[in-house]
Amino acid sequence: MRWNRFLLLLAVLAPLEAAVVLPALISDNMVLQQRAPIRIWGKADPAEDVTVRFIGREISIRAGQEGKWQVFLPPLAPGGPYEMEISGSNKITLRNVVVGEVWVASGQSNMAWAVRQSKDAEAEIASASHPNIRFFQVRTTVADHPAEDVSQASWRPVNPDTAPGISAVAYFFARDLHLSRGVPIGILQSAVGGTPAQAWTSRGTLDSNKLLHWYLEAWEKRASEFPAAKERYDVQLTEWKEQAAKAKAEGRQPPRAPQLPSGGPGHPHTPSGLYNGMIAPLTPYAIRGAIWYQGEANAGPTDNELYRHLFAEMILDWRRAWGTGQFPFLFVQLASFAPPADRNWPLLRDSQTRTLEIAKTGMALAIDVGESNDIHPKDKQTVGKRLALAARGAAYGENIVYSGPMYRQHTGEQGAMRLWFDHIGSGLRSRDGNALAGFRIAGHDGRFFKAEARIEGATVVVASALVPDPVAVRYAWENDPVATLVNREGLPAVPFRTDNWN
């Protein structure tokens, strides 16, 4: 009887030990990056032989001592759908695999903002029939160390059933690219609302740059204060529950619930926590580039200018992690919005603009589609389209106008300043047809006044009767500016200042 039980146990356990296991990314409906070496990886028994068959190619490998294995498929032309077979002691067949372009979509809530929450949601969802646009949505995961895989995620083609919950910005970006490039598009959506960039940056990078130690020290302080803050929160939560129950019984709107203080274990603001749980597991997968919409959580009263260094280091960090060179990194500059008075969004926007000094980066503006009283503007179509334009111009090298006017230099004139721009396209104009708005001018005293601005050819001349000897100009240098300078292609001018005053 004991022998029979032993044999039965072996029969049950042996296949589990020897079976080939794949990460969540290597699955049905996946999009593989065209014209790049494609890594396929997984686990098996130590020294188990694993074979990958795909489009007439067959590659075999022997698993290492820890059971890990990987193979590289040669660069492939776009196409599909295909089947991929991976076999060891077991056989796995992956179906509906296509080859196209793969982009990571990351950031905070404006990237996570779903199609169902956006402008014209009902019509957009109804028309969302794109079997060759696929999304892989990563669940929110905070980790202490880089994870090898993600949980409960799978590739899903875009259709009216799947479209409501996917990133609106990423979907409209993918749709424009799919229609313009004519290839399948895969989106690795890895975004969490309300999160700062330091949470998306590896600990090694944060440690290696002394300027970024500020973020680590600030978090250590919060962590030390968390136990006492948590006690206060628990008391507030108990009181709130009583008040909410009473309000509900009386038919009134319950008060707002207290927020759990940051600094505790597993909090999504933990430096490197989201990188470890939501970016590191993606880095073996071949991609074309990344799109990013974030900055609101870093636009506080202290770290606006420091963000320039953090964001730049994060981009370089990701490129090192993927190990495929300088892949394009495209991002959205913060939209117009009226945040609390102690927030200085112009400085954060300026930090974002300065990031364009890094090779193969591109920026899409949202300064003209923001909503004063809503940090989540509903017009994600415009943002997605502008990111796609940036990709087509900066990443794919198409000869198109993909950016709005960008300040280059100025010259002084009698009582005025003349401004010169790059990316003027086919010319400059006012977005609404009225006089240009959004310009301010100052003299040596540093006091800025509203300025009159007029277009002269490829330049803008700015002046004010209150500033007879001007030395500095700012444009759209407010949290929620009225800014009307665009090129004739309709792309808005990038906010700027000619000075470096506080």
Taking phi first (over 0 means left), then psi (-120 to 50 degrees means alpha), and beta for anything else, what does residue 182 get? left
Q: Give the residue ranges of the chain where pLDDT is below 50.
A: 1-4, 6-17
CA pair distance 346, 218, nearest whole angstrom: 23
Residues 6+ apart with CB under 8 A from 193: 108, 109, 112
pLDDT of residue 341: 76
DSSP string, 184-222: -EEEEEEE-TT--GGGGS-HHHHHH-GGGHHHHHHHHHH
Residue keyed to tokens 């440690």: 207
pLDDT of residue 343: 80
CA pair distance 451, 442, nearest whole angstrom: 9
51, 87 in Cβ contact below 8 A? yes
Angle formed at CA 36 by CA 73 and CA 318, multiple of 5 degrees: 115
DSSP designation for 498: S
CA pair distance 408, 496, nearest whole angstrom: 10
Helix (H, G, I), strand (E, B) or coil at 371: strand
Helix (H, G, I), strand (E, B) or coil at 487: strand
**Kind and range of the H or E run holding 73:** strand 68-73
pLDDT of residue 142: 98
Residues 6+ apart with CB under 8 A from 399: none
CA pair distance 17, 63, nearest whole angstrom: 13
Q: Which sequence spans correspond to the domains of the chain?
A: 211-270, 406-497
Helices 380-390 and 168-181, axial angle in degrees (round to 10): 50
Q: Give the other-Cβ count within 10 Å of 276's Cβ.
A: 21
Helices 306-322 and 345-354, axial angle in degrees (round to 10): 40
- Give 351's strand partners: none
136, 154 in Cβ contact below 8 A? yes
Q: pTM for the full model?
A: 0.94
Q: How remote is the C-alpha of 246 from its chain's centroid?
A: 42
Q: What are phi and psi of 474, to 5 degrees?
A: -125, 145
pLDDT of residue 18: 55
CA pair distance 268, 346, nearest whole angstrom: 26
pLDDT of residue 305: 84
Cis bond upstream, residue 196 (ω within 30): no
Report the amino acid identity of residue 433. Answer: G
CA pair distance 129, 68, nearest whole angstrom: 38
Helix (H, G, I), strand (E, B) or coil at 174: helix
**Kind and range of the H or E run holding 237:** helix 213-249
pLDDT of residue 7: 41
On the 0-12 / 13-18 / 19+ scale of CB atoms within 10 A, 123 is exposed
Q: Give the other-Cβ count within 10 Å of 434's Cβ.
A: 8
